Amino acid sequence: MTGTLRSNLVAGSSRWAVRRAQWRALGLTDEDLHKPKIAIVNSSSKLAICFSHLDDIVGPLSDAVRAAGGVPFEVRTAAPSDFITSAGRDGRYILPSRDLIVNDIEVAVEGAQLDGMVCLASCDKTAPGQLMAAARLDIPTLIVGCGYQPSGRFRGEHVDIEDVFLAAGHVASGRLSLPDLAGMCDNAIRGPGVCAGMGTANSMHIACEALGMTLPESTPVLANSPAMWRAVRTAGRRIVEMVTDGVRPGHVLTREAFENAVTVLLSVSTSVNVVKHLQAVAKETRCDVDVPELFERLGDRVPLLCAIRPNGEHFIEDLEAAGGAAAVMKQLADHLHLQVPTASGATLGEVLDAATVHDEDVVRPVDRALGRRPSVVVVRGSLAPAGAVVKRPVDDHGNQRFTGRAKVYPSRDAALEGVAAGDVGPGHVVVLRGLGPRGGPGMALASAVVFALDGAGLGEEVAVVTDGQLSGLVNVGMVVGEVAPEAAVGGPLALVADGDLISIDVPGRTVDLDVPADELSARRARLHEYPATTEGGWLSIYQRLVTPVPDGAVLTE
């Protein structure tokens, strides 16, 4: 193995000498210098509860790596939390932070020529960023989902971060008092971990397992539980074996693996944000996969097997107790590519042979599915030629069509002011534009507007169309997000005027602007180039380099 490790530099060379001096000063022995060198990628921060336990995981994981014959090195990256990092610039730092994570990992791990890595996944952008880095570097990698947070109770009722997020929109309208909201905040989170529920974080952890990039039966998991610690210790041992055996992401992240992941995510009523994240991973893998097309093609074929909050009555704890992602895949076996390899060393079929479904009311068999209505729907049309996404609840039996007159706002704050002033009423389609990757820049969050409408009692009477992104945790009403092309690059959304008729047909998969072609041509002739940001720093760099959302909103190669 000594001669095959890329971390073993030529003895006597200048690079070997200075590195030996550095690592010997850190306490490594001559024997250590010839062992597999493993990066423990710790996307940690004390700014948010979702990351607060990761530092404590590094020690036991390092011990497991050493016991297996490897040498661990902790590597830190950016650690964005949607609920903390979104305070600045209208949440525009959130999506670009994913690509910071990718590049942080590349600089540290590729620069040092380490042999493998274990990535500690937590909040929404860490898992996709770590998967993207694994695909880019193509060295043995395991993702460890570090768990969801325990929820609490307030006035005798269950309360979690989803309830807080939604309830905040009700304060401005007077439907909820500030002391009641504060009481919910004080009780919603009872420990570390990601948001409890089928938001983006748990969705992406499950996606990692469906792709074969985590160890079997490890997602979702309660943070700091015995199950999480077992997965941590097993990952420390397995990553050294993967280096020895040469198991790389390029062997695992195949077209069939992406189809499996989309199938599993559709079956659990996933977050809308996984579409762009999986496409970004596919881009880094250089795998010829069109993820939005997979959601379109598989949407009506995949049975809905789970209804986990905020999409149904069951809690994320119920899904874990029922067998988690492995149980879902066990029920879906006839819909999956079972021959694909996984990072565990077994094929997916072999993994599922050992899996058990502990509760078929939580993870239903296919013949008792909740339905075959896709909960994540890709729509296209004259307003979104390159596509947009709609999230619908599992029990959606209401009106899935909406036609109304546009009320156009250029920013989240302007829309919030319009809602507060009563300018938005039943039958309106709120058009929130300039929030895309280029226009934001950084893809601002539009969810605050959605929740303000819900708080004003308009959630089911008003639609929203935006080129911004939405929370994966909660969505209410008729909302079309991530419209592409975005307004900033001259997409049709830039041409909409107050009063224009917009039609949304979810079953028909369309979103259309009903304006005569000659009028649109005249408007386009008057359309000025969207101004570049006047800010410096990371957002200006991101704006210049980012690709469209259907391509994953990755940075230009």
Amino acid at 304: L
**Catalytic residue numbers, as ranges:** 471
Q: Are 149 and 194 in contact (CB under 8 A)?
A: yes
Long-range contacts of 63-67 (CB under 8 A, 24+ apart): 63/236, 64/232, 64/233, 64/234, 64/235, 64/236, 64/237, 65/38, 65/40, 65/118, 65/236, 65/237, 65/239, 65/240, 67/236, 67/237
372 alpha-carbon distance from chain centroid: 23
Beta-carbon contacts of 237 under 8 Å, excluding residues fewer than 6 positions away, are 64, 65, 67, 68
Amino acid at 555: L
Q: What are the chain's domains? A: 35-150+191-353 (3.40.50.2300), 379-551 (3.50.30.80)
Which pLDDT score is estimated for 547?
A: 96
Which pLDDT score is estimated for 536?
A: 80
SS3 490: coil
Q: Which whole-number Å values give the CA distances from 97 to 126, 225, 433, in the listed order?
A: 9, 28, 21
Which pLDDT score is estimated for 175?
A: 87
Q: Are 217 and 256 in contact (CB under 8 A)?
A: no
Is it the case that residue 3 has pLDDT exceeding 50?
Answer: no
Amino acid at 220: P
116 vs 169, more confident: 116
At 180-205, the pLDDT tens digits run 999 999 999 999 999 999 999 999 99
Alpha carbon distance, N-terminus to C-terminus of the chain: 34
Q: Is 375 exposed, middle or buried (0-12, 13-18, 19+ CB in 10 A)?
A: buried
Q: How confident is the model at residue 2 (pLDDT cuts 50, 70, 90)?
A: very low
Tokens of 54: 């990761």
Rounded average pLDDT over 131-148? 98
Tokens of 361: 């009311």
Amino acid at 38: I
Q: Are 51 and 44 in contact (CB under 8 A)?
A: yes
pTM over the 0.85 mark: yes
Which pLDDT score is estimated for 397?
A: 61
Rounded average pLDDT over 220-225? 98
CA distance 135 to 345: 18
Beta-carbon contacts of 479 under 8 Å, excluding residues fewer than 6 positions away, are 390, 391, 446, 450, 463, 464, 465, 466, 470
Q: Are 258 and 278 in contact (CB under 8 A)?
A: yes
Tokens of 391: 């999230």
CA distance 420 to 397: 30
Name beta bridge partners: 479: 464
DSSP 472: S
CA distance 132 to 92: 20
Which pLDDT score is estimated for 474?
A: 66
At 251-307, the pLDDT tens digits run 999 999 999 999 999 999 999 999 999 999 999 999 999 999 999 999 999 999 999
User: Which of 361, 333, 360, 363 is closest to 348 using CA atoms?
Assistant: 333
**Mean per-residue pLDDT of the chain:** 94
Is it the case that residue 375 has pLDDT exceeding 90?
Answer: no
User: ∠ at Cα 95 (85, 537), nearest 5°?
Assistant: 75
At 9-67, the pLDDT tens digits run 999 999 999 999 999 999 999 999 999 999 999 999 999 999 999 999 999 999 999 99
Q: How confident is the model at residue 226 (pLDDT cuts 50, 70, 90)?
A: very high
Beta-carbon contacts of 36 under 8 Å, excluding residues fewer than 6 positions away, are 1, 5, 7, 69, 70, 71, 115, 116, 240, 243, 244
